[in-house]
Amino acid sequence: AQSVTQPDIHITVSEGASLELRCNYSYGATPYLFWYVQSPGQGLQLLLKYFSGDTLVQGIKGFEAEFKRSQSSFNLRKPSVHWSDAAEYFCAVGGNNNDMRFGAGTRLTVKP
């Protein structure tokens, strides 16, 4: 079965700085990859997803992610972080079943 690792439990960045959140997956075939954001008191919201095609995926709120098969990674990036980006971010991977596996999450703190 597929699995996801998010190596960073907590990251702190200054407002305006760039951001990269790491995600590594394990799956034998081409995975379906997702990034979700969970803001305090809010439900999870899809930021972006990758199924096939261009390995650089653009999402909402200025986020992007790049699928690198050779590294089994799907890192999330944003050039300039805003205070409102403070939240928990989850990477998820799906295979050929109904079971979508989520990582443990990375909590992002944004310093003024």
Instruction: List interacting residues with another protein (CB under 8 A).
Output: 4, 6, 9, 32, 36, 41-46, 49, 51, 90, 92, 94, 97-105
CB of 15 to another protein, least distance (A): 26
Provide the minimum distance between the beta carbon of 25 and another protein in the complex, in angstroms, as a whole number: 12
Could you tell me whether strands 64-68 and 87-94 are parallel, antiparallel, or unpaired per DSSP bridges?
A: unpaired
Whole-Å CA distances, 103 to 11, 78, 80, 84, 111: 15, 19, 24, 22, 24
Give min distance, CB of 28 to another protein, in A.
18
CA 13 to CA 15: how far, in whole Å?
A: 6
Which CB, 17 or 46, lies closer to another protein?
A: 46
Q: Identify the CA nearest to 11 among candidates 102, 79, 112, 111.
A: 111
Beta carbon nearer to another protein, 7 or 18: 7
